[in-house]
Amino acid sequence: MSAIDHRLQGIIHYQQQTYFAQDVLPEEEVQLKVTGKRKAQLLKVLQADPRRIKPACQYYGQCGGCQGQILSFDEQLNLKAPEVKRLIEQLSGYEQLMPPQLFYGQDWRYRRVTRLATWFDHRRGWQLGFRQSQSKQLVQIDSCLVLQESLNALIPPLQGLLNAFSKSAKLGHVELYDCLPQPAVRLRLTSALTAKQRQLCTQFANEQQVSFFVSDLKSEQYLVGSDCYYQLGELAIHFTPGDFIQVNPLLNEQMVQLAQQWLALKGEDRLLDLYSGVGNFTLPLAKQVRSVVAIEGIERMSEQLRVNAKLNQLNNIKALSGDLDDPKTLAGICETIDKVLLDPARSGAQTALESVAKAGVKAVLYIACDPATMARDLAIAHKYGYKIQRWALINMFSQTSHVETVVLLSAD
């Protein structure tokens, strides 16, 4: 065993072959089973890395999440940092980067959003839980240590609700949101609720004091409640269950503050916010600049951003919907912009960053939940002569293999 990658997978070199295996740390002697061309499975730890600790979660090794909990809270990010640095240097063309700033939050009870899978077992009925590692099979759970307590407390009664559904129910997944004015449940189905199912869900929502949102192939609606929002400073960010919102509220606030500081926003600045969602960055940053153009790929979320701007009395935001993988979407826009913020999905922002770089926008803040696609995209910025002024790793997803990466690019 010689190394670990940015996903906290062990890298094993054996007989001139390289394998990747979960749950394996550097400085360990292990027994493995080869399961694929470059994949291996840990069978036994013969000599443990001194940093290895006992996982706190009872479902560790079964559930496909929280792979990092064999390491202490601090050590997780300490091991990720040099590997993300190596990845960026390897793929982007930038060399000898300075070490990143590291931002930590809570080790447990931090997630305000989760998605639970459902599965019908012929002996036990409907099951609720998470997928097994590298499998479609489900691990039934009755609690989760990374969920905020308001969501964790909903798991047993939700299991009780599903127990009342028949085998023929067309259940998909269940999403939970810790939000205001009360927590929310989103039930995803592939057919409309029956009258009996609707009654069961309504009764559940009233008993648990939650909003209940139902989404099927034809419609979406609240059965109970009518609104969801979260607070970001003095701002109220409204959203519809199913919209993307950041899972870690404490570190999200720190990340927004970081964006404000690093972009050094001024009153005369014209800002472009790409992949803007419902306004997590748009709204607080709009308070510091002359104008913001916010572009999002999903029209419903762009419309929600317009509503959020009005509700928060911000009249300097232009919210648009467009395909940011199509260079025509940004045609003529980047030339009128002073600074840019990008927060794309895991697929990255190649086309959008190319348009921004071609226009020579002075300052670009790139926020990514996948350092591999970010590293690939940064090669574009490098080609156009941008410099990395500073960068950071944010432990947004504690106990997992994921990390949020923030890079400030300058054309100067």
Q: Which amino acids are annotated catalytic? A: 369
Residue with tokens 């000898």: 96
Provide the 10 A C-beta neighbour count for residue 323: 12
Nearest one of 368, 363, 369, 389 to 289, comparing CA atoms? 363
State the Cα–Cα distance between residues 264 and 250, nearest whole angstrom. Answer: 22
Quick one: 404 exposed, middle or buried, by C-beta within 10 A (0-12, 13-18, 19+)?
Answer: buried
Other CB atoms within 10 A of residue 173 CB: 14
Cα 120 to Cα 359: distance, rounded to the nearest angstrom: 53
Q: In this structure, are residues 48 and 125 in contact, taking their beta carbons and an 8 Å threshold?
A: no
Answer whether 204's CB lies under 8 Å from 214's CB.
Answer: no
Residue type, 252: N
Q: How far is CA 32 from CA 38, 49, 162, in A?
A: 12, 16, 39
What's at 344, amino acid-wise?
A: P
Q: Is 185 helix (H, G, I), strand (E, B) or coil?
A: strand
